[in-house]
Structure 1
Amino acid sequence: MKLTVLGCWAPYPRAGGACSGYLVQAGSRNILLECGNGVMSNLQKYIDFRSLDAVVISHLHPDHYMDLFCLRHAVSGAMRTDGNLRPLSLYLPGEPEDTFGQISRFTDAFDIRPVESLPRVWQNGMEVFQTIIGDVRISFIQADHPLKTYSMVIACEGRLFYSADTKWSAHLVTAAEGVDLALCEASVAEQDRDYVSAGHLTAKQAGELAREAGVGQLVITHFWPEYTLNIIIKEAEEGFGRAVTAAAEGLQIQVEPFALLHAPSPKKV
């Protein structure tokens, strides 16, 4: 599984940057995770949008979905000229109703799949919605954010946990337990903790979540553009207890089983 960062800023990007967007390539599938402002442009640096197998949106705040409008026009136009193309699977929450209702009319480009309509299972006392895209399994766990939001575990030759936007929640530690890589929002520094207490993680909390879950690697993302990122990285490392990676447009990371990456070298005979 390979993760490519297409955008990492919130709620607006730095000059030349983009809001939330990540390309997950696993097995034979290309999955776009989030589609915020500027993501459509960056996506095309790595793959043709016609090669996407699915788009997954964690919640319907503009910095996570706004470029769906661009992608819609690209896909619908391509379908008019290529009879072999089919609507692109789009997974997203069914709330808020007004925003979902607007996007759900884009059937000229998307096969709309509300997360709440997916098969539901109970794991460790948590309600989990699941879908399988080729050989990729995505599990959706409700986060704690003012809008209906889903954290996710994406599994295929490695496991990736994506926090989405959320305040601290003990059940997310359970959801992320033992994953190979955690992609966690680190929206603000500790000095601004009270400002985001209703629905976001500080950088230090992102590190603490990953440490308590025993994850292999931590990548922090979803940064307020006005911060000096060295402060955010330092606070995340304080929480995690070891080095973290800060997301940046163009960052690519292989998500491989942590146990294999850190297995001892075989002894020479």
Structure 2
Amino acid sequence: MRLTVLGNQGPFPGPEGACTGFLLQDKEVNILIDCGAGVISRLQKYCKISDLDAIVLSHLHSDHSSDMFVLRYAVQAKLMTKTMDKAIDVYTPKTPDKYYKELDFNNVFNLHNISDGMQLNIMGFSFTFYKTAHPVECYGMRIEKDGKVFAYSADTTYTENIIKLAENADLFLCEANATENIRKTSNPPHLSVKEACDIARKAKVKKLLLTHFWFEEPKENYRGDAEGEFNKVELSEELKTYEI
């Protein structure tokens, strides 16, 4: 498995940046995980829209799904011009209802609902979904293939479910939107860097990759919070590919 970070910012992207989106690949299989602002443009550096095998959305907050509402027009146009020959399978929570209904557009997506504890085989990848603690219905993912485990927290506050999701993962991609500096003035519904490291430590993951950065917060603050908290932790880099 290999994972390319298409965007790692939230809740909005900075200049030259993009919100959450990751391309998971193995051989000829291409699965997009989350699809926030700016992701579709970057996706096409690595994969044609017509070569997407599936899209998995952790939740329907805009910074994880807004480019889906651009992508639907792209797929519609490509189906009309016969540069694509089938709709894309999309795995997503069914709520919030307003945004879910907007995905049901001219048969460009085959919509499949996900739920807590659900296990699915998607193009040879074994997915298990874990409900997280977030203001809307949201699911983290444990993905297994060929003896390797990739875990993705999605958006959440601290919950035991994320420890189970990440247990012994080869790569744990974990949101860490809140630094200690941010926590001085606000309490966003997200993990802090230190909490992400604590989960990784308890889950005994092999490598922790942090994501979902607040663009206006200096990266030095994220690095400083992570220092000494976990033995193998990195800040994810946009447009970088990680082998799992």
Q: Which of the five TM-score ranges fits, normalised by the shorter chain? A: over 0.9
Q: Who is 1:109 aligned against? A: 108
TM-score, with length taken from structure 1 = 0.86
Residue 6 of structure 2 corresponds to 6
Indicate whether 1:196 and 2:208 are aligned.
Answer: no
Deviation of 1:108 after TM superposition, in Å, equals 2.7
What secondary structure does 2:228 align onto?
helix
Q: Does 1:146 align with 2:135?
A: yes
The residue type paired with residue 151 of structure 1 is: G
Counterpart residue identity of residue 43, structure 1: L
Give distance in 2, aligned partners of 1:13 and 1:26.
Answer: 28
SS of the aligned residue for 2:4 comes to: strand
RMSD across aligned positions (CA)? 1.5
Measure, in 1, the Cα distance between the counterparts of 2:83 and 2:23: 26
Instruction: Give 1:113's aligned amino acid.
Output: H
Q: Pick which of 171-180 and 143-152 moved more.
A: 171-180
Q: Distance in 2 between matches of 1:133 and 1:107?
A: 23
Please say which structure displays the higher CA radius of gyration: 1
Q: Percent identical across equivalent pairs?
A: 37
Q: Whole-Å Cα distance in 1 between the matches of residues 50 and 120 of structure 2?
A: 21
Change (3 A) 1:74 1:233: same
Shift of residue 219, structure 1, vs aligned partner: 0.6
Structure 1 residues without counterparts, runs of 5 or longer: 117-126, 256-269
Question: How far 1:69 moved relative to its partner?
Answer: 1.4
Q: Which runs of 4+ in 1 moved over 6 A?
A: none
Distance in 1 separating the partners of 2:220 and 2:9: 15
1:42 maps onto 2:42 in alignment: yes
Instruction: Write the letter of the residue equivalent to 1:55.
Output: I
The corresponding residue for 2:51 is 51
Does residue 207 (structure 1) correspond to residue 206 (structure 2)? The answer is: no
What is the 5 A alignment of 1:121-132? 127-132=116-121
Stretches of structure 2 that go unaligned for 5 or more consecutive residues are: none
Paired residues, number: 242
User: Partner residue of 1:180?
Assistant: 170
Q: Deviations over 1:137-194 (max 9, x none)?
A: 1111100001110000111131111000000001211221101000000101123337
Matched, 1:227 2:226: no
Residue 84 and residue 184 in structure 1: after superposition, are their counterparts in 2 closer, same or farther (change >3 A)?
A: closer
Structure 1 residue 225, shift from structure 2 partner: 0.6
Cα separation, 1, equivalents of 2:23 and 2:204? 24
3-state SS in 1 of match to 2:98: helix
Q: Structure 1 residue 113: deviation in Å?
A: 0.7
* 8 Å contact from structure 2 (residues 50, 83) kept in 1: no
Per the alignment, residue 126 of structure 2 pairs with: 137
